[in-house]
Amino acid sequence: MKNAKEFVSSILEKADITVNGNKPWDITVHNEQLFKDVLLRKNLALGEGYMLKWWDCEAPDEFINRILNHNLQTEIRENFRDFLYILPSLIFNRQSSSRARIIAERHYDLGNKLFESFLDPYMQYSCGYFYDKEDLETAQKNKMDLTCKKLQLNENDTLLDIGCGWGGFAKYAAENYGCKVVGVNISERQIEYGSELCKDLPVEIVNSDYREIKGKFDKVVSIGMFEHVGPKNYKEFMNTVKGCMKPDGIFLLHTIGSNTSSVNCDPWVNKYIFPNGTLPSIAQIARAAENRFVIEDLHNFGPHYDRTLMHWHNNFLNSWRKLENDYDETFKRMWEYYLLSSAGGFRARHLQLWQIVFTHERKEQPFCRFV
C-alpha cells in the first residue's frame, strides 16, 4: 500500500497536485486503498472512489484538467484489464438496434425532474454558445439560433431532428423559423415530455430508432445523439441521413468528439453514465461521410462546454434539496463527478464539441456561408 501511495503521489506532483494538500485541486484521501485500486483500474477506480467518499477535492474539475494537461493518464501502464475492456467493442456491435434502448432506460429515463433541476427551460442537454457573459438560458438560445442559421431554416422547410431529446430545439425551430419538425427518439420519458412541450406547434415526435426513419426532409439535424451511435454504425447513420434528405438539403451534426479515434469510451462513464457510448474523432466522422456528403463547415466550440457544465453543476447543487428524496448521496456524488470531470476534460482540450454542416456530394446549388 505504501509503495502504491508513493508512486501515485509522485505522478500527481508532476501536475502540482498534492495528496492531502490545501490547494483547490489537491485531493484529500480518506481511504488509502484508492492508490492501489487506481493502479489496477485507473479511471474506473478514480470515479468509483469519489462515489464511495474515498477521496474529496474542492475543485475536481481542475484536478481532472491538470491530470489531462500533463498527460498523467499515460504514466500508468496499460494492463490486461484494459484489453479485456476494449475487446467487446472490437468484436461486437454494442450499439446495435437491439441494444439501442439501453441508454434510454439507464440514463435519459432517470426522471425528468432530475434533468429539469439543472438544464435550461428548453431542456438543452448539450453545449450552449456564449458570446460573452450570458447566463445558461441565453447561451442555449444562442446555440439553437446559430444551429438554425447554419441549416438555413425557413417556413417552407421540413426538419428531421434525430435524437430530439425533450423537444426543446424542435420547439425553438418551429416557433422562430416556422418550419415543420419531425423528432425521432427512443426515450419514453423524453417523448412524453417533448410531445407536451410542442403540443401547439407543427412538431411530431416519433418513437423510433434512427435506422427506421422514413420520409424525405429539407433539413436534418442531430444534436448530442451521435455519441450513442458507435463506430460500427457510423456509415449506416450517414446512409440513413443521406437517404432521407432531399437533394438540395442540409445536414448539421452536433457532437462531442475525441482527439483520437477509439472504439469505446471511458470505463467509468460507460458503467455509470452513458452505457455503450463512444466519442467519435474527426477522422471517423470524415470516413463515414466519404462518398456520401460534402463537408461544408466545421466549427469547434468545445471550450463553451466547460462553461455549460459548470452552470449545470451549480444548478444541480442548488436543486439538490428537491431531489434528495428521490436519489441517494452516492448518486449525488456520481452526478457531481460526471459533470465536473467532464468540465475538466473540455478545459484541457481533451474533449471537443463540433458542429459539422454537410450537403449532398452532388448538390446542384452552391452552398451559402452563414457566418
pLDDT in the model for residue 52: 96
Quick one: cell of 353?
Answer: 464539441
Lowest mean pLDDT of 28-37, 65-74, 260-269, 289-298, name the range: 260-269
Quick one: cell of 57?
Answer: 477535492
What residues contact residue 74 under an 8 Å CB cut-off, 6+ apart? none
pLDDT in the model for residue 74: 79
Whole-angstrom Cα distance, residue 254 to residue 290?
Answer: 18
Lowest mean pLDDT of 50-54, 104-108, 174-178, 180-184, name the range: 104-108
Quick one: cell of 23?
Answer: 490547494
What is the side-by-side order of every strand in the sheet holding 158-162? 203-207, 180-185, 158-162, 217-223, 245-258, 351-360, 293-300
- pLDDT tens digits, 112-149: 999 999 999 999 999 999 999 999 999 999 999 999 99
Mean pLDDT (the chain) is: 90
pLDDT in the model for residue 290: 96
- pLDDT tens digits, 203-215: 999 999 999 998 9
Q: Over 50: is that where the pLDDT of 235 sits?
A: yes
Q: Residue 324 phi/psi, 5° resolution?
A: -65, -15
Cβ-in-10-Å burial (0-12, 13-18, 19+) of 157 comes to: buried
pLDDT in the model for residue 364: 59
Whole-angstrom Cα distance, residue 33 to residue 28?
Answer: 13
DSSP secondary-structure letter at 148?
Answer: H
Give yes or no for a contact between 124 and 143, defined as CB atoms under 8 angstroms apart. Answer: yes
**Arithmetic mean of pLDDT, 280-287:** 98
- pLDDT tens digits, 58-89: 999 999 999 999 998 877 765 434 434 343 44
**Arithmetic mean of pLDDT, 85-110:** 54
Domain segments of the chain as ranges: 2-77, 102-360
- In the Cβ-directed half-sphere of 53, how many Cα atoms lie within 13 Å? 4
Whole-angstrom Cα distance, residue 119 to residue 124?
Answer: 6
pLDDT in the model for residue 92: 47
Which of 292, 266, 263, 283 shows the shortest CA–CA distance to 354?
283
Whole-angstrom Cα distance, residue 21 to residue 255?
Answer: 37
Q: Residue 185 phi/psi, 5° resolution?
A: -155, 160
Residue holding cell 460507460? 270
Q: Over 70: is that where the pLDDT of 31 sits?
A: yes
What residues contact residue 122 under an 8 Å CB cut-off, 6+ apart? 137, 140, 141, 144, 168, 169, 171, 172
pLDDT in the model for residue 363: 59
Which of 307, 296, 294 shows the shortest CA–CA distance to 353?
307
Whole-angstrom Cα distance, residue 221 to residue 28?
Answer: 44
Give yes or no for a contact between 263 and 231, defined as CB atoms under 8 angstroms apart. Answer: yes
- What CATH number matches the domain at 102-360, 3.40.50.300, 3.30.1050.10, 3.40.50.150, 3.40.718.10? 3.40.50.150
**Arithmetic mean of pLDDT, 178-191:** 95
Band the pLDDT of 157: cuts 50, 70, 90: very high
